[in-house]
């Protein structure tokens, strides 16, 4: 019973579309989910499916499954639900007949442009440009995070080769050799990435993804450099000297790799990095680290690509996690997806592809998702959700600190920015058991890295929800004493 009081009760802030708490009817997956898993398993791989959802009944911070289990969702489809389930503003948007053409008329976008891609409220600017990162003047929409990064890499390679040529056009040799996958038409360029990073599962992205073996096993890859990402000690403020030394080591090795790959004849055209390594274990680095890395990119003529697929959209307390670095010119390219509902990348003018069809695919984003995004941005501003994230994130992280002090043999290294938080568990098996027991008590969490639990609630997650979760989580942990 004493575990119930690990966290105080916060005042419940009423949301018209939110439930008052979890409600569990069956273990998860329940009978209906198991039946559907069997049916779907006859035609495709269902190993990654945990249960089937009832989105009609899901509201606010709560996801309901087909067995009528109602769960407080702190994972949100890997950070992809920006303002909760069934938000009234989005339901109203869907009910507007004038928006219907965005859904049934959304074919290939880059060949036949759509006038409703232009912001509904501001005809002069596209919806996604309303939240453009500092120094970014252009945006290229895509369908998902992987294709966003894949095409951002292509943009960096095109920019680098055009910079090398100067005013010259591609030679006849460039044109002929590219068709048979040979240099100089297919140059030996590379992208520097970091151990623990995750940038997607397509072939180019996989060459820069270093989080789990299951992603990479049996897939051919490129000879591209991989730098160490700082392995910091937490809380950060208590280990400033040790962490500064670790970051200096990683920066030195990153710069050495750029030099070595140039000497190998495979110059680094770009550097890609996450502001917080998410899939790889919620690994943080200081603003100084990123500012120094940005300077290294400038020094060696490399494009600097910040992957904000998981961190973008407000969960760190700022719309972009790289805003915490305090830079006017943080990047040359910033990729996004998940909470922004569509995919794509922002970029400077000079990284615009020089010819049509060089950056191109079937969908090139989705005008209907831009309508959703514009309304999400309106809700974020109207409801001051970035401030809410800061408050609820502080409550969540404070509670995690208290729990790791209470269970030092189980939990360690609590860390976070806003509600983008994580904590380590003593081993992988215990971590996975905690996730399942929490789910059966009505809380959805996700794992990352070797033994971490990550927290990715929606932006409407309040301090009340943080305390509600912490008490349930404490009850789960009590089973492991």
Question: Which residue of the set 182, 362, 427, 428 is catalytic?
Answer: 362
Domain 31-74+385-478: which CATH class?
alpha beta
Return residue ranges of the chain for CATH 3.40.640.10.
101-381
List per-residue pLDDT tens for the chain, 481 residues long. Answer: 334 445 565 555 556 789 999 999 999 999 999 999 999 999 999 999 999 999 999 999 999 999 999 999 999 999 999 999 999 999 999 888 878 777 765 555 454 555 544 444 343 355 678 899 999 989 999 989 999 999 999 999 999 999 999 989 999 999 999 999 999 999 999 999 999 999 999 999 999 999 999 999 999 999 999 999 999 999 999 999 999 999 999 999 999 999 999 999 999 999 999 999 999 999 999 999 999 999 999 999 999 999 999 999 999 999 999 999 999 999 999 999 999 999 999 999 999 999 999 999 888 888 788 889 999 999 999 999 999 999 999 999 999 999 999 999 999 999 999 999 999 999 999 999 999 999 999 999 999 999 999 999 999 999 999 999 999 999 999 999 7
Q: Which residues, including other chains, have CB under 8 Å from residue 307's CB and lie 6 or more apart?
A: 149, 197, 199, 272, 273, 274, 335
Three-state SS for 173-219 is: HHHHHHCCCCCCCCCCCEEEEECCCCCCCCHHHHCCCCCCHHHHCCC
142 neighbors 343 (Cβ within 8 angstroms):
yes
Return residue ranges of the chain for CATH 3.90.1150.10.
31-74+385-478
Token digits of residue 437: 């027991």
- For residue 342, indicate whether it is catalytic: no
Pairing mode, if any, of strands 411-417 and 70-73? unpaired
List Cα–Cα distances, 302 to 55, 299, 309, 392, in angstroms: 44, 8, 21, 38
Predicted confidence at residue 148, as pLDDT, reads 97
List Cα–Cα distances, 141 to 108, 314, 343, 363, in angstroms: 12, 19, 6, 9
- Specify the fold of 101-381: 3.40.640
Question: Which residue of the set 18, 73, 307, 424 is catalytic?
Answer: 307
Predicted confidence at residue 69, as pLDDT, reads 98
394 neighbors 171 (Cβ within 8 angstroms):
no
- For residue 290, indicate whether it is catalytic: no
Question: Which residue of the set 51, 73, 282, 338 is catalytic?
Answer: 338
- For residue 338, indicate whether it is catalytic: yes
How far is 35 from 213, CA to CA, in rounded Å? 31
136 neighbors 348 (Cβ within 8 angstroms):
yes
State the burial class of residue 454 (Cβ atoms within 10 Å of its Cβ: 0-12, 13-18, 19+).
buried
Question: Which residue of the set 17, 109, 117, 198 is catalytic?
Answer: 198
């Amino acid at each position: 019973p004493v575990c119930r009081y690990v966290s105080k009760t916060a005042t419940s802030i009423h949301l018209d579309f939110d439930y008052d708490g979890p409600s569990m009817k069956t273990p998860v997956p329940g009978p209906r989910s198991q039946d559907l898993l069997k049916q779907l398993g006859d035609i495709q791989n269902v190993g990654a499916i945990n249960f089937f959802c009832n989105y009609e009944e899901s509201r606010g911070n709560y996801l309901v499954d087909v067995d009528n289990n109602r769960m407080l969702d702190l994972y949100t489809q890997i950070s992809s639900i920006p303002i909760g389930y069934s938000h009234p503003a989005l339901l109203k948007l869907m009910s507007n007949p004038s928006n219907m053409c965005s859904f049934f008329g959304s074919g290939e976008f880059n060949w036949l442009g759509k006038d409703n891609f232009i912001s509904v409220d501001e005809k002069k600017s596209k919806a996604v440009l309303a939240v453009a990162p500092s120094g970014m003047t252009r945006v290229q929409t895509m369908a998902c995070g992987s294709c966003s990064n894949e095409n951002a890499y292509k943009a960096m390679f095109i920019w680098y080769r055009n910079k090398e040529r100067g005013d010259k056009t591609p030679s006849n040799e460039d044109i002929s050799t590219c068709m048979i996958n040979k240099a100089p038409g297919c140059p030996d360029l590379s992208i520097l990435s970091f151990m623990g990073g995750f940038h997607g599962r397509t072939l180019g992205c996989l060459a820069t993804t270093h989080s789990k073996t299951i992603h990479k096993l049996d897939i051919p890859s490129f000879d591209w450099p991989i730098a160490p990402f700082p392995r910091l000690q937490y809380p950060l403020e208590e280990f400033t000297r040790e962490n500064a030394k670790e970051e200096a080591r990683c920066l030195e090795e990153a710069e050495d790799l750029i030099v070595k790959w140039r000497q190998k004849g495979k110059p680094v055209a770009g550097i890609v990095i996450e502001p917080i390594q998410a899939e790889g274990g919620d690994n943080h680095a200081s603003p100084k680290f990123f500012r120094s890395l940005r300077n290294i990119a400038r020094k060696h003529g490399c494009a600097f690509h910040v992957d904000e697929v998981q961190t973008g959209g407000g969960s760190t307390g700022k719309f972009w996690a790289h805003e915490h670095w305090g830079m006017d010119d943080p990047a040359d390219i910033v990729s996004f997806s998940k909470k922004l509902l569509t995919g794509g990348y922002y970029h400077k003018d000079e990284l615009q592809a020089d010819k049509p069809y060089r950056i191109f695919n079937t969908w090139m984003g989705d005008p209907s998702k831009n309508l959703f995004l514009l309304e999400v941005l309106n809700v974020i501003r109207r409801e001051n959700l970035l401030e809410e994230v800061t408050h609820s994130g502080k409550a969540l992280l404070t509670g995690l600190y208290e729990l790791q002090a209470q269970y030092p043999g189980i939990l360690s290294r609590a860390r976070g920015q806003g509600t983008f938080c994580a904590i380590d568990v003593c081993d992988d098996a215990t971590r996975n058991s905690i996730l399942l027991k929490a789910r059966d008590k009505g809380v959805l969490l996700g794992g990352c890295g070797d033994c971490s639990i990550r927290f990715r609630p929606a932006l409407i997650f309040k301090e009340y929800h943080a305390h509600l979760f912490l008490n349930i989580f404490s009850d789960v942990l009590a089973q492991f004493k």
